[in-house]
């Protein structure tokens, strides 16, 4: 049924991108407010994003959940989770939006705590539920501001209402922090590295690949559509651009220091949300300063990375789930050599690694290249701050891309190459056909979206046409289907098929030069500085691989390193040296923990109020009503 839902969402999304917006009113919901639904270009695109990953994850789940005895919770809450995400993107009034938003948030809490007997899962679930409801309150506050200006919960009325700059800014800040918390934007990301790893891997793929994008959709729907580009302030775009740059760099920096495979992938979701926000922030700045065509390019770049990230991050979590399913561990320090035991999984995982590292000819390169083009073609904007912030964000994007490539060299090398570092990994085997088929579909789509962006990006032209009233489609294929030309072909163009042909040609020449006809490959025994006893502990592990970058960025990461030396009798004789390192998240250490201590302290001070009678409760209620009347009358 989930596979059918995914396929239906894909078909509906493509149809919605090619046709005019359609609306539907159901006599449900509140007595005076029926439920409004609408499929326009923006919602159709996100329907396509949801369906494109939901279909392969549903197929993958057939094999992943085989033998699982506790399917009752998944059978209830996984369909509710998917229904909530689908309902959010087609909702056309605030009540319907929040109803499906809470359905998505609450059902995903039960998926995070699926293995609730583990303390780690219960703690992650509590933090996730707390942050999800905080995000919901902020979003509800944003809708309250729009309702006060329009007098209606319907999006069509909100869209036409006039907002004073103060209230437009208030609505922007409320929804930006609300949707930013749900998307895992730095510094509101503290829940994400804990929640995504402990959920079942098929759920992790949906949460990282789709749920975070639903938060991006909410930001676009409220800020770009309901408030509108005409009300953008210059600092809105600068704030989004700064948050995106910080998320991109810090996400990949902390991912590099992880040895838990799924936790590493969770931090990379923060990085890629940052990349999406860089494109959207550039678009907001350019829209404010009167460059709608370049603003449309930034918007398209962010949206294209949205679907790209859904595909390769979903594939990475499915690959990690396959490894966990076979080996029973997420610890990369115990892995190695899995390419010989799981060759198909290794191939699909490699495709995802290359895609997320933004290397041609796969899809990640196209969206990041479009983001770079937006920044490089942006004219000099007003003020010295904006003159500096745009190239700085482009530099942060380049740094994040380089660090992401280094991180996934580490991941693939430590997990799949070399020798097995433990016995249970040495006995691993390939997963079944359902799981391989589920991974093969997004792997193929990663290649197709990288090779043929000119065939897909024009489908998205309805979005800038409705939000910015400009069309980008004709500029993208000015030189035919082979070349992608953003805005102006004289500035830049890219052809993935030509790049692939060039790489294959150079690779073939190098292979022919190194392996001339008639010469056999000489093979010899492994050699390690004269030591004949080769074993797995001689290999680089995950901690050792990231050590140089940990030294370089020590001022940001603040690693806690401990060396314990065991000596038998004499101080010059050493039996064993044990090295441990821990890199804590500064947002948790400097933001969440102080807030938690403050909240608990305040709760202790007022806890005696809970012991009073009904008169005290009525007095507090009366005082609250008076305050609200004075403040908002």
Q: What is the DSSP string of 401-432?
A: HHHHHHHHHHHHHHHHSS--SSHHHHT-----
Q: Going by C-beta distance under 8 Å and a sequence separation of 6 or more, which residues neighbour residue 326?
A: 342, 428, 429, 430, 431
Tokens of 318: 């499915």
- Number of C-beta neighbours around residue 567 at 10 A: 12
* SS percent in the chain: helix, strand, coil, step 5: 70, 5, 20
Residue with tokens 């509800």: 140
Residue 529: Cβ-neighbour burial (10 angstroms; 0-12, 13-18, 19+): exposed
Q: Which residues pair with 437 in a beta bridge?
A: none
What is the C-alpha end-to-end distance of the chain, expressed in Å? 51
The set of long-range contacts for 163-167, using a CB threshold of 8 Å and a minimum separation of 24, is 163/227, 163/231, 165/231, 165/233
pLDDT at 147: 94
pLDDT at 518: 67
| Bond before 361 cis per omega within 30 degrees | yes
pLDDT at 633: 63
- What is the spatial distance between Cα 588 and Cα 207, in angstroms, rounded to a whole number? 21
- What is the spatial distance between Cα 213 and Cα 492, in angstroms, rounded to a whole number? 29
Q: Is residue 194 within 8 Å of residue 124, measured between CB atoms?
A: yes
- What is the spatial distance between Cα 363 and Cα 355, in angstroms, rounded to a whole number? 6
Low-confidence ranges of the chain (pLDDT < 50): none
Tokens of 345: 């999984």
pLDDT at 532: 67
- What is the spatial distance between Cα 68 and Cα 390, in angstroms, rounded to a whole number? 50
pLDDT at 606: 79
């Amino acid at each position: 049924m989930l596979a059918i839902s995914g396929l239906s969402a894909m078909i509906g999304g493509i149809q919605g991108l090619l046709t005019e917006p359609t609306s539907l009113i159901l006599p449900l919901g509140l007595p005076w407010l029926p439920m409004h639904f609408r499929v326009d270009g923006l919602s159709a695109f996100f329907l396509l994003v949801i369906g494109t990953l939901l279909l392969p994850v549903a197929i993958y789940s057939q094999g992943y959940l085989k033998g699982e005895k506790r399917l009752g919770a998944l059978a209830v809450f996984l369909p509710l989770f998917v229904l909530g995400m689908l309902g959010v993107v087609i909702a056309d009034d605030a009540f319907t939006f929040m109803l499906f938003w809470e359905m998505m948030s609450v059902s995903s809490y039960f998926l995070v705590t699926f293995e609730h007997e583990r303390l780690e899962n219960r703690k992650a679930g509590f933090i996730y539920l707390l942050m999800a409801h905080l995000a919901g309150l902020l979003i509800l506050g944003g809708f309250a501001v729009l309702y006060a200006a329009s007098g209606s919960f319907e999006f069509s009325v909100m869209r036409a209402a006039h907002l004073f700059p103060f209230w437009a800014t208030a609505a922007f800040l409320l929804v930006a922090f609300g949707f930013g918390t749900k998307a895992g934007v730095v510094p509101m990301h503290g829940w994400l590295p804990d929640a995504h790893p402990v959920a079942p891997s098929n759920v992790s793929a949906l949460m990282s690949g789709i749920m975070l994008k639903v938060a991006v959709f909410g930001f676009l729907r409220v800020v770009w559509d309901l408030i509108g580009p005409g009300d953008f302030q210059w600092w809105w775009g600068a704030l989004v651009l700064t948050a995106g740059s910080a998320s991109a760099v810090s996400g990949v920096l902390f991912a590099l220091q992880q040895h838990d495979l799924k936790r590493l992938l969770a931090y990379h979701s923060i990085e890629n949300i940052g990349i999406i926000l860089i494109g959207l922030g550039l678009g907001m700045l350019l829209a404010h300063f009167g460059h709608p065509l370049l603003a449309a390019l930034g918007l398209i770049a962010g949206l294209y990375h949205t679907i790209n990230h859904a595909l390769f991050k979903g594939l990475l979590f499915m690959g990690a789930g396959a490894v966990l399913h076979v080996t029973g561990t997420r610890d990369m320090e115990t892995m190695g050599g899995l390419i010989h035991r799981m060759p198909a999984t290794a191939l699909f995982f490699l495709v995802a690694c290359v895609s997320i590292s933004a290397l041609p000819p796969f899809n990640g390169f196209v969206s990041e290249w479009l983001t770079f083009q937006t920044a490089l073609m942006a004219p000099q904007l007003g003020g010295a701050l904006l003159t500096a912030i745009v190239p700085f964000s482009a530099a942060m994007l380049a740094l994040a891309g380089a660090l992401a490539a280094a991180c996934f060299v580490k991941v693939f090398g430590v997990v799949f190459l070399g020798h097995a570092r433990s016995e249970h990994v040495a006995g691993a085997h390939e997963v079944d056909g359902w799981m391989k088929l589920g991974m093969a579909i997004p792997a193929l789509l990663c290649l197709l979206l990288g090779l043929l962006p000119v065939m897909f990006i024009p489908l998205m032209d309805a979005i800038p046409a409705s939000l910015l009233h400009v069309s980008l489609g004709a500029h993208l294929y000015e030189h035919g289907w082979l070349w992608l030309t953003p805005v102006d072909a004289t500035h830049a163009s890219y052809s993935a098929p030509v790049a692939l042909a060039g790489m294959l040609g150079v690779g073939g020449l190098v292979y022919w030069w190194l392996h001339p006809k008639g010469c056999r490959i000489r093979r010899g025994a492994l050699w390690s500085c004269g030591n004949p006893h080769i074993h797995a502990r001689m290999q680089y592990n995950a901690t050792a691989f990231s050590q140089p970058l940990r030294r370089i960025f020590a001022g940001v990461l603040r690693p806690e390193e401990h060396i314990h030396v065991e000596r038998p009798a004499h101080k010059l004789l050493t039996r064993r040296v044990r090295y441990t390192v821990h890199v804590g998240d500064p947002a948790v250490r400097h933001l969440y923990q102080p807030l938690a201590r403050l909240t608990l302290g305040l709760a202790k001070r007022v806890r005696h109020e809970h012991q009073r009678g009904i008169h005290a409760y009525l007095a507090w209620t009366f005082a609250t009503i008076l305050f609200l009347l004075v403040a908002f009358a």
